[in-house]
Amino acid sequence: MSGLDGELRGIIPRSFEQIFNDIVADKDIQFMIRCSMLEIYNEKIRDLLAKNVKNTLQLRENPDTGVYVNDLTQKNVGTTKELNRWLSKGGENRMTGATKMNKDSSRSHSIFTITIETCEIDKNTGEDHIKVGKLNLVDLAGSER
């Protein structure tokens, strides 16, 4: 999914490029982009972008906002390069082990989340309209087959 450079690059780098191409194209809307990355290994949740990746986190539910991971680190990003850097850093912190197919096979499920907030001012009323969207990129353990 990460792919290579050029025409053979995967869905992840193409998604990153699309996000920032759309932001540059729309001058009337303000954007804020954050990313986070977690792993689920042996039924424990770890924050792959935290200073201490050994700590486990708790899954919580809020009636207003839904299910979330308590204290998950979110990093503000402004470029495709920054998104790629955080994705790589999180990938380095994942649990891996050797299999017959791959010497560095992932042993955990991971979720890399990109959160995009937009703020647009209504030209008629002068009110702010804020929207939030999330893109979850999921990598399942042992999915190299």
Give the pTM.
0.83
Confidence of residue 139 (pLDDT cuts 50, 70, 90): confident
Nearest CA to 137 among 10, 12, 3?
12
Number of other CB atoms surrounding residue 112 within 10 Å: 21
User: Are the C-beta atoms of 82 and 17 separated by less than 8 Å?
Assistant: no
Number of other CB atoms surrounding residue 35 within 10 Å: 23
How far is the C-alpha of 2 from the C-alpha of 10, rounded, in Å?
5
Amino acid at 4: L
How far is the C-alpha of 93 from the C-alpha of 39, rounded, in Å?
9
- pLDDT, tens only, 10-34: 788 889 999 998 887 777 889 999 9
Which domains, ranges and CATH numbers included, belong to the chain?
28-139 (3.40.850.10)
Is the pLDDT reported for residue 59 higher than 90?
Answer: yes
The pLDDT value recorded for residue 8 is 73
